[in-house]
């Protein structure tokens, strides 16, 4: 022992003394401090508490140090033994916890349960200890003592202003099958018939286990037994939502709002459900109620801004997003929408200033695109390109997207040579980037450079054989611009296996079959594609195949519908010109 003592630094000795005298260590039999639950459980350790020494003795120090040394050497059984002995000698809950976790690491459930029981005895109000004992008891199928520990978990949590039933539920659900977990929760809830939190947790348990009939039954009982508790109605509506019954959920929350007109949680939940149901005006009115009640947080202003914008109340939307900026909440989102509002009001300079404030988040890329478009619309092409290049240096992880933005700018305001040069520069900087290769390939196809398209898309497919869009683009281009129709069919078939519901790929399949002379099969695929997406290009393809197959009346009807909506449709007008119609 003297040798061990010489090996320990003064700092470690001070730490050990502090551990033995900390508030986490309470001798067995002592009274819980004021504010802790009166009803706490004690499970006696194997060794009698009366035999435990009090104060810091040489035996305690030795056990503590020997346990630490053994743990460092990887001698876990020995470390467990000394930690458990330290817990007994010093009534030290921390040592009991360490012993429990050592046993769990060794996969010794009986030793873990023994130490966890001691941990509970020494720290009866320690929630983690109680939950772990429940788990270990259930693993060893010792269900009899579990209920008392669950009751302790409830009372400890409730004393801390938390829903103890949910804490108990989390321990149960880890170990028991659905029906067993529900049965045990029902036993626990029965012990507290006047506490709505119990049945609330029971409903949540049923939802977690996807036992929707039980969840619905218990939620109805919760509302019936506790009609003055608003959270019950909120949960009952949630049960309906997860089953897809949004209208029934709306009815429940509408009733709740009428009963609890000042409850912010009920109103907020109702408003969000109205948004899901596309009832935007009603949702807006509910968020206005929250604002009038003094709930002026970021969440309320965010939704008020979005809804006002959607309802074309641009002035109100602007004020709400400015409030978000003042609060420092969701500033990137607020700046983006303030830019949109300014842009729609033809205030281009102000819109650019707002978009420039969007640094991160889901709208950051779109904001940069809009800056570029606004600059280009004002004839500031070089300024727009300079802006993109500065942002690309500032945010190198977004380089590929920014190159694509610049390419789009040059497609509209530059030359094809400039576009291809930019793609070449981009791929020199980001060799092998699939997005850039794919985009350059498609642009090359628009210039009838099938060789470049094939080279780039084959590289994309080589690095990602499941790239359905690349397979489809290559197959369609070969079918449309070459006589390599059988090869095109192979690529499109591979794409269709990956995305069987894609309207674009179904259209490609119809077109390649048409080029192969398999007209009836082609019509079937094209009709599927058109039903999914009544796009002018698909309409042009379907009409052409119908016309060539003799069904000219139907072809005319399809083209006429497109031209009524889009009189300048390039695809339809081109096919009609080519067929001399």
Q: What DSSP line would sit under 205-228, residue for residue?
A: HHHHTT-HHHHHHHHHHHHHH-TT
Query: Which two tokens mark 133?
Result: 């004992």
When pLDDT is cut at 50, 70 and 90, the band that residue 365 belongs to is confident
CA dist., res. 32 & res. 95, Å (int): 20
CA 545 from centroid of its chain's CA atoms: 45
Delimit the domains of the chain by residue range.
363-431, 534-581
Higher pLDDT, 181 or 24: 181
Q: How far is CA 8 from CA 80, 89, 227, in A?
A: 20, 20, 63
Distance of CA 455 to the CA centre of its chain: 38
pLDDT > 70? residue 357: yes
Residue labelled with tokens 């070449």: 424
* Phi-psi map region of 514: left, alpha, beta (phi>0 left; psi -120 to 50 alpha): alpha
Q: What is the per-residue pLDDT across 521-557, written as a single tens digit (0 to 9) for each?
A: 999 999 999 999 999 999 999 999 999 999 999 999 9
Q: What count of Cα atoms within 13 Å lies in the side-chain half-sphere of residue 544?
A: 24
Name the pTM for this structure: 0.64
pLDDT band at 140 (very low <50, low <70, confident <90, very high): confident
Yes or no: say if 329 and 301 are a contact pair by the CB < 8 Å rule.
yes
Between 489 and 33, the more confident residue is 489
Structure tokens at 24: 């986490």
Instruction: Rank 29-33, 334-338, 405-409 by mean pLDDT and report only the highest.
Output: 334-338
Lowest mean pLDDT among 1-5, 415-419, 420-424, 442-446: 1-5
Predicted confidence at residue 297, as pLDDT, reads 84
End-to-end alpha carbon distance in the chain = 105
Cβ(338)–Cβ(305) below 8 Å: no
pLDDT tens for 56-77 read 677 777 777 776 777 788 888 8
CA-based nearest residue to 127, from 50, 22, 36, 201: 36
Q: Which two three-digit tokens encode residue 157?
A: 């949590």
Least confident of 38-42, 114-118, 332-336, 411-415: 38-42
């Amino acid at each position: 022992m003297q040798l061990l003592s010489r090996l320990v630094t003064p700092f470690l000795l001070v730490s050990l003394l502090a551990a033995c005298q900390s508030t986490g260590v309470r001798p067995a039999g002592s009274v819980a401090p004021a504010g802790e639950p009166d009803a706490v459980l004690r499970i006696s350790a194997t060794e009698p508490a009366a035999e435990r020494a009090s104060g810091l003795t040489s035996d305690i120090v030795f056990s503590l140090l020997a346990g630490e040394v053994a743990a460092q050497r990887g001698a876990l059984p020995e470390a467990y033994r000394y930690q458990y002995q330290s817990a007994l000698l010093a009534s030290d809950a921390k040592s009991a916890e360490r012993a429990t976790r050592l046993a769990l690491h060794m996969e010794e459930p009986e030793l873990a349960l023994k130490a966890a029981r001691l941990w509970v005895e020494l720290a009866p109000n320690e929630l983690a200890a109680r939950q772990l004992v429940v788990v270990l008891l259930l693993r060893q199928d010792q269900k009899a003592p579990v209920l008392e520990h669950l009751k302790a978990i409830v009372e400890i949590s409730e004393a801390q202003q938390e829903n103890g039933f949910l804490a108990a539920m989390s321990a149960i659900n880890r170990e028991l099958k659905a029906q067993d977990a529900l049965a045990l929760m029902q036993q626990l809830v029965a012990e507290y018939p006047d506490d709505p939190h119990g049945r609330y947790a029971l409903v949540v348990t049923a939802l977690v286990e996807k036992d929707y009939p039980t969840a619905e039954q218990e939620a109805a009982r919760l509302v019936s037994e506790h009609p003055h508790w608003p959270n019950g109605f909120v949960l009952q509506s949630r049960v309906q939502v997860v089953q897809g019954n949004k209208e029934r959920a709306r009815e429940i929350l509408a009733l709740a709002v009428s009963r609890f007109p000042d409850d912010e949680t009920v109103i907020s939940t109702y408003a969000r459900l109205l948004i899901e149901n596309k009832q935007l005006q009603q949702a807006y009115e509910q968020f206005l109620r929250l604002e009038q009640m003094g709930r002026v947080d970021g969440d309320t202003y965010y939704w008020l801004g979005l809804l006002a914008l959607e309802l074309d109340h641009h002035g109100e939307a602007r004020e709400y997003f400015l409030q978000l900026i003042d609060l420092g909440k969701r500033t990137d989102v607020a700046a983006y929408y303030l830019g949109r509002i300014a842009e729609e009001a033809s205030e281009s300079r102000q819109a650019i200033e707002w978009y420039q404030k969007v640094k991160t988040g889901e709208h950051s890329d779109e904001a940069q695109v809009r800056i570029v478009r606004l600059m280009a619309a004002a004839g500031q092409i070089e300024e727009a390109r300079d802006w993109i290049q500065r942002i690309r240096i500032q945010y190198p992880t977004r380089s590929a997207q920014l190159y694509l933005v610049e390419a789009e700018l040059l497609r509209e305001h530059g030359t094809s040579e400039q576009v291809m040069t930019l793609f070449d520069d981009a791929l020199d900087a980001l060799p092998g980037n699939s997005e850039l290769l794919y985009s350059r390939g498609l642009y090359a196809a628009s210039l009838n450079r099938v060789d470049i398209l094939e080279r780039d898309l084959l590289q994309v497919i080589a690095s990602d054989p499941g790239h359905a869009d690349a397979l489809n683009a290559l197959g369609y281009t070969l079918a449309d611009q070459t006589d390599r129709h059988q090869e095109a069919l192979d690529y499109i078939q591979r794409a269709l296996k990956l995305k069987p519901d894609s309207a674009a790929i179904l259209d490609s399949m119809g077109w390649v079959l048409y080029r192969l002379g398999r007209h009836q099969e082609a019509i079937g695929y094209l009709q599927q594609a058109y039903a999914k997406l009544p796009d002018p290009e698909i309409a042009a393809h379907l009409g052409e195949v119908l016309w060539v197959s003799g069904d000219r009346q139907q072809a005319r009807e399809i083209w006429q519908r497109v031209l009524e909506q889009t009189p300048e449709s390039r695809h339809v007008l081109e096919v009609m010109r080519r067929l001399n119609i």
